[in-house]
Chain A
Amino acid sequence: MLVSRVLAVAIKEVRHIMRNLLTLFLVTVSPAFLLFTLAYVFSFDIDQARLAVIDLDKSQIARAYLTGLTSGGSLSITAFVDDYSALDKLLVAGGVDAALVIPPGFGEALQNQALAQVQVIVDGSNLNVARQTMSKISAASRTVVAGMQPGLPEVPLPFELRSLAWYNATLKSLFSMVPGLLGVVLSLPALALSLSLTREKELGTLEGLMATPIQGAEYLLGKMSAYLLMGSGSVLLSWLVAVAWFRVPFRGEMGILMLLTLTYLLASMGFSLFISTWISSQQTAMFTVMMVFFVPSFFLTGLMHPINREALGAVLVSSALPATHYIIIARGVFLKGANLATLAWPGLVLLGMGLIALFVSIGSFKKRLG
């Protein structure tokens, strides 16, 4: 294998990309653009939950309770209704996130230090909203009711629980999602690579290449190097978006990030290389990459939903996706300031994946027609 031939293919590839400005733009800028859009969407901390209320007690205490609930800012009462059917309509139409029903006798019970009850009906069709709404309501209720109790003598509590979040003290979901999304977004260069390969097959220019002395390995390596180069450019752009626009803290070192991102690009490109040797049309290539890598990487990589380690299926599938390991790396470098030693394991896994995929692709690439 001659390095000069690999270089020749790589240079040809870079020329092809540069020739068409739109394609160049798409290969280098679209990951950053995508990161930009996706990140805004994924900061899903609900600010305010909307409530509808039926007050059957109508006592002063009930009113004080409701006022106290909304004073924190996390809840807002958007409707007062008189009966359950009106409540139903609101819930079905999606106008409120939950409904509160204060039964008669509520105020009296609280005054006599007996157990008071409130009925909460939550719209369960959107799980995320439902959970956050429920926890807001129960937290606010606890605070309000505690404030209503007659004063206790100053006795210290038997114990104290102190909760804190490392790396992201305010649990800002943007800081969690942007590094995570980097993994998703950087699979675009891999897509571009697979398209380029299948395109040559489709257009017939591969035939021409086969007539040259170029070996299968040199061809594949050359193509991959070109896209690795382009991919690195898009990494820098995406990093810029993350740090300069979204102000995600960057506590690690740039060099480590670039190095480990290269292993990720290697792994994802290795996979797309492997897939492309079996596919003959660009249409199929796009469909496959989208279905097999892109979309699953939102759910199966621990980006949002954590991976259940007891479920063998989940563990196997997520470990097979390069993005899973890269998310740990990206979050590690950005938020935790992790060094190379700490991230050695995911880095090596990605490197291994990439090399194995590369070797298998080279092995199965047949320099023949038909």
Chain B
Amino acid sequence: MLARIWQIMIKEFIQFRRDRLLTLFLLTFPALQLILVARVAGSDIVNLPLALLDQDKSQVSRGIGQALDNAPELALYYVPTSLAELEQLFDQGRATIGIVIPPGFAAGLAEANSSPQIQIIADGSNTYAGRAGLSTAEGVINTYLYRFLSHSSSARLAASQYASTLVPLLELKTTTRFNQTLNRHYYTIPAQFAFIVYQVTVVVAALGLVRERELGTLEQLIVTPVRRIELLSGKAIPAVIIGLVEFMGMFLIMLGLFHLPMRGSWGLLLLLSTLFIIAEVNWGMMVSALARTQQQAILIIFPLAMTELSLSGYLVPVENMPLGLRLMANFSPIQHYIIILRSIMLKGANLAALWPHVLALILLAAGVVYLSQRNLARRFE
């Protein structure tokens, strides 16, 4: 039995070698994607395009513009001269934040009974950037004006009543555990990595069987003495091996290029990653058995993979999803794997802390293996 499995494995590897392009892609794309996405997405909220409609043109308003530009999160790109121009910039999606300083602002500051207003406008069509931009702009303008006012010799400030509004009574000393610099990479790269391993494994596994069926070579295999279980194992194992190779390659990239910490146990990580890969390979093979053509297999896998991906907490924390989706998310192996990966790498978590997720992975893997064995047995002919 083992000999036949070995023969099938060799056949798979030979076929891989024949498709040079695929092998090249399999080896390089994941690494490239990891590097590209990490590099490019790494900067997060930086240089948000800002439009300043300065209708006051005083020293104060110019100072505000300068302060805003100096903030790393904002960049003064546009200086419209009318509200209509500002609207156009927003409609076209060019500006994310807009500041409107009305005429007479500086004069109003100096007067005792007036509270001149500055408008801070965010492009609500991108809530992520909009929120960040709003709070940054508020902070910058607040700080600048308070500093300006406290240095100013205007009579208004002589009143000691303002002293207490200018001095904060409560100071929050914040430290961030596990991710000292709130480095974006610490957060996205482990998740990206998990996803790529998942992609490679599922693609390879899913298309293995259905390809043979579509091209007609499956018939020939059935006629040979190779038994069902041997064929399936022979196809699954190379997929697992490829998954592990990708895993190790990209793990090295994560550590070497991005200097991500590895605070936990290597052995544990390797073991759990293998478990994860096996679960995914089996899932892929199950889809492979259900579809009649590769096109079908792909069009089934794609939305399902994307759904599983979204439920996995890859981009969006699971805690924020509605209850129904949160429950469903527990059935996604990649969700548990991402948590395990992050915890081991960033927090140095051990088995004791991770056991619910490990258990979930084991159960899911076992479940999928069982289901796929039953399905494949029936669907073979």
Contacts and interface: CB of A to CB of B under 8 A. Distances in A.
Interface of A: 20, 22-23, 26-27, 30, 33-34, 37-38, 40-47, 91-94, 110, 113, 115-131, 134-135, 137-138, 141-142, 145, 149, 152-153, 155-169, 171-173, 175-177, 179-180, 188, 191-192, 195-196, 199, 202-203, 278-284, 286-288, 290-292, 294-296, 298-300, 302, 304-306, 308-311, 313-314, 317-318, 328, 331-332, 335-336, 338, 342-343, 345
Given A295-B199, A309-B47, 11 more contacts: A20-B293, A30-B303, A42-B310, A124-B182, A127-B179, A152-B161, A195-B294, A195-B295, A195-B299, A283-B19, A305-B44
Chain B binding site: helix, strand, loop or mixed by DSSP?
A: helix
Contacts of A126: 187, 317
A308 B125 contact: no
B155 interface: no
Contacts of A37: 303, 306-307, 310-311
Given A42-B310, A123-B178, A191 B172 contact: no
Nearest to B105: A159
Nearest to B120: A163
Contacts of B77: 309
B125 A168 contact: yes
A interface, over-half SS: helix
Contacts of A44: 315-317, 320
B114 A156 contact: yes
A145 B306 CA distance: 45
A290 B164 CA distance: 58
A191 B295 CA distance: 10
Nearest to A299: B41
Interface residues of B, number: 118
B376 interface: no
Contacts of A127: 179, 182, 184, 186-188
What 4 A-B pairs are tightest by C-beta distance, nearest first? Answer: A168-B124, A124-B179, A26-B299, A165-B124
22 contacts: A27-B299, A91-B178, A94-B339, A113-B169, A119-B173, A122-B176, A122-B177, A128-B316, A129-B319, A155-B159, A159-B108, A161-B118, A161-B138, A162-B120, A175-B124, A176-B126, A195-B298, A284-B25, A291-B30, A313-B39, A314-B43, A338-B91
Nearest to A339: B91
B71 interface: no
Contacts of B322: 40
Residue picked from B125, B307, B316, most chain A C-beta under 10 Å: B125
B66 interface: no
A115 B170 CA distance: 6
Contacts of B184: 127
A167 B121 CA distance: 10
B177 A38 contact: no
Contacts of A279: 21
Nearest to A313: B40
Given A141-B172, A199-B294, A286 B118 contact: no
B175 A122 contact: yes
B203 interface: yes
A120 B91 contact: no
B192 to A, nearest CB: 9
A302 to B, nearest CB: 7
Contact of A165 (B40, B43, B130, B156): B130
A46 B131 contact: no
A46 B124 contact: no
Contact of A125 (B36, B113, B165, B342): B342
Nearest to A44: B316
B280 to A, nearest CB: 15
Interface string B12-55: 00000001011001100110010011011101111111000000
B203 A282 contact: no
Given A33-B303, A284-B25, A309-B47, A160 B134 contact: no
Interface stretch (B219-227, B230-238, B345-353, B359-367): B345-353
Contact of A159 (B118, B130, B179): B118
B134 A156 contact: no
Contact of B47 (A156, A161, A308): A308
